[in-house]
Amino acid sequence: MRRALLAAAWLAIAAPATTTEIPIAERKSGYDLMGPDTRAMQDDDTANPGMLWVLDGEALWNRKSGTAEKSCADCHGDAGTSMKGVAARYPAFDAARGRPFDLEQRINICRADRQKATPLPFESKELLALAAFIGRQSRGMPIEVAQDDRTKPFIEAGREMFEQRQGQLNLSCAQCHDDNWGQKLAGAPVPQGHATGYPLYRLEWQTLGSLQRRLRNCISGMRAEPYAFGAPEYVDLELFLMWRARGMKVETPAVRP
Amino acid sequence: MARALINVPAKAKRGEIIEIKTLIQHEMETGYRVGTNGNMIPRDIITDFVCKYNGEEIFRADLFPAIAANPFFTFYTVATESGAISFEWSGDNGFTAAETATITVE
Amino acid sequence: MPTDHDKLQATRRRFLTDAAALAGSAGFGAGFGLSLTVKPASATPETMRAALKRVVGEATLRKGKVKLDLPPLVENGNVVPLTVTVDSPMTATDHVKAIHVFNEKNPQPNVIGVQLGPRAGRATMATRIRLADTQTVTAVAELSDGTFWTDNIQVIVTLAACVENM
């Protein structure tokens, strides 16, 4: 009996650091962990601060830009039709460039290639507004990033980053968001970390922000050095997070504490 | 001009009490935060909000730094007649913004 | 009988507990030293009373008629929904003229001052405010007959974890 217990203890320590993944049926959006007032803020389009950026995005969608003097609408027409479901499958694989890109990067690729315009800086008001406007067109739709031979290596790279301990605190994303979700950290409940509503209005930021901004917050929180905005490591992680949230509904623009 | 989101019912019955919601994009910098250079970031807030119904003032607010970023208000008025409901915000550093909504009162 | 070694251990334990309490009270993220730099001046119950006096003057502050609504536990002090409702027929002769909101721990005691009138139909106003810390928020309604009525609520404000460097 004692030997069996010892063996079990040894196994527990020696087992690889794969933490317990959340079963599909038990996945919860951060929305479910919020109080009723914050949920009401998200649900009401006339009161959701993120909608201010969505409206800005709509204006930008129709504005001619770059030396090609083209607007998004010139190629894509009415976003309500053409962009429906798009955000739900991002990050998406770019065949020409051989790797996935997230929505903000895709917008800048379009600007450079089609509009002959300068890229919008990461986390700029304009880029967030366009991403929020496009994201809004997928609201309520299930997240569905491609999982095929092309994307699998990047999803795996993202998973590795999610499970890897980092920083001075030597924590992995999985340890909080897979193993300890629902428990409190400095008085706030730890969410499962599904990126269902980005870009979102974070009360802490008092503004709209991207998933990469949030990832950088977490990474600095672990006292690790964050990568620069747009780093491929983030896109891999974003892709993994969206794969992890597959089937969950897009909430953009969400509101979170 | 700063982006604003107004919610006024398009139609109402005479004498009905209607709900008005306003949301405007503004950082409402309090003047109490310290920047990366160690200096206080100067205050930059909306200080006044006025709503008029066909020119007559029906709601006025004096805002302080304690009002959250992207100021949001919900208030009420009696639908008296058809016309224009106007909204004006003003604040530090010459900030101004204005919006109008039309209402049909039967 | 405690040895010198025991006493040293007790002191060390006390130091670690105090340090942990300090880090804990400063917040998970702030414990990393970047978000709590200069602590700004804050209102006190005295400055709030002074601010109240500027509005109310020598009149009595009566309890009643006013209902202040705030979540008892706030997820983030940056954005706190607040609603004030005053029981009033809102007629030309009997209505709410103004609603004022005050706090006691933000850098300033005033939150908002709203002017209404009989055209409002309903003496209700909702907005979103900032609260720096757990504290009492006070609402004062000024009626057309010159009386002042009040309500207050104690709000608990928690901090966000993993705050970003500025």
Q: Measured between alpha carbons, how far is A55 from A132 in angstroms, rounded to an integer?
A: 9
CATH of residue B8: 2.60.40.10
Out of 1.10.760.10, 1.10.3720.10, 1.10.287.70, 1.10.287.3510, which CATH number does the structure's domain A24-257 have? 1.10.760.10
Q: Measured between alpha carbons, how far is C27 from C133 in angstroms, rounded to an integer?
A: 12
Is B7 in Cβ contact with A46 (below 8 Å)?
A: yes
Give the pLDDT score at A64: 96
Give the pLDDT score at C133: 87
User: Three-state DSSP class for B44?
Assistant: strand
Give the pLDDT score at C16: 47
**Chain B neighbors of C163, CB-CB under 8 A:** none
Tokens standing for residue A104: 């903000």
- Could you report the predicted ipTM of this complex, rounded to two decimals? 0.95
Is A46 in Cβ contact with B69 (below 8 Å)?
A: no
pLDDT digits over C140-156, tens only? 999 999 999 999 999 99
- Chain A residue with CA closest to C158: the answer is A187
Please state, in angstroms and as integers, the Cα–Cα distance from residue C99 to each residue in A197, B74, B85, C140, C149, following that order. 36, 14, 22, 6, 10
For residue A218, give the nearest of C75, C78, C162 by CB distance.
C162
Q: What domain range is B39 assigned to?
A: 4-105
Distance of alpha carbon B19 from its chain centroid, rounded?
A: 14
Tokens standing for residue B65: 């730094």
The pair phi, psi for residue C141, each rounded to 5°, is -110, 135
Q: What is the mean pLDDT of the segment spanning B54-76? A: 97
Residue numbers of chain A with a pLDDT score lower than 70: 1-19
Which one is predicted more confidently, A14 or B7?
A: B7
Is A188 in Cβ contact with C160 (below 8 Å)?
A: yes
Q: Measured between alpha carbons, how far is A243 from A162 in angstroms, rounded to an integer?
A: 12
For the four alpha carbons of A69, A72, A74 and A75, in that order, the dihedral sign comes to positive
Q: Measured between alpha carbons, how far is A26 from B46 in angstroms, rounded to an integer?
A: 44
- Those residues with Cβ within 8 angstroms of residue A214's Cβ, 6 or more apart along the chain or in another chain: A198, A202
Is B27 in Cβ contact with A206 (below 8 Å)?
A: yes
Q: What is the mean pLDDT of the segment spanning B23-37? A: 93
CA angle A184, A187, A190 (to 5 degrees): 35
Give the pLDDT score at A185: 86
C159 CB neighbour count, 10 Å cutoff: 19
For residue A56, give the nearest of B3, B68, B70 by CB distance.
B3
- The Cα of B23 is separated from the nearest Cα of chain A by a number of Å equal to 7
Contact of C125 with chain B, judged by CB distance below 8 Å, is answered with yes
Is B32 in Cβ contact with C125 (below 8 Å)?
A: no
Residue numbers of chain C with a pLDDT score lower than 70: 1-42, 160-166
| Residue C81 parent element (H or E) | strand C80-86
Q: Measured between alpha carbons, how far is B19 from B82 in angstroms, rounded to an integer?
A: 15
**Chain A neighbors of C133, CB-CB under 8 A:** none
- Those residues with Cβ within 8 angstroms of residue B90's Cβ, 6 or more apart along the chain or in another chain: B46, B47, B48, B96, B97
Tokens standing for residue C123: 């003496």
Does pLDDT of B73 surpass 50?
yes
Contact of C124 with chain B, judged by CB distance below 8 Å, is answered with yes
How many contacts (CB atoms, under 8 Å) link A and C? Answer: 60
How many domains does chain B divide into? 1
**Does residue A218 carry a catalytic annotation?**
yes
pLDDT digits over A79-137, tens only? 999 999 999 999 999 999 999 999 999 999 999 999 999 999 999 999 999 999 999 99
The pair phi, psi for residue A116, each rounded to 5°, is 55, 50
Task: Please give the biggest Cα pair distance in chain B.
Answer: 58
Q: Measured between alpha carbons, how far is A147 from A93 in angstroms, rounded to an integer?
A: 10
- Smallest CA-to-CA distance from B96 within B32, B5, B26 is with B26
Give the pLDDT score at A197: 97
- Please name every residue paired with C140 in a beta bridge, in sequence order, or none if there are none: C100, C150
Q: Which residue in the block uniquely carries the two structure tokens 């992995």?
A: A172
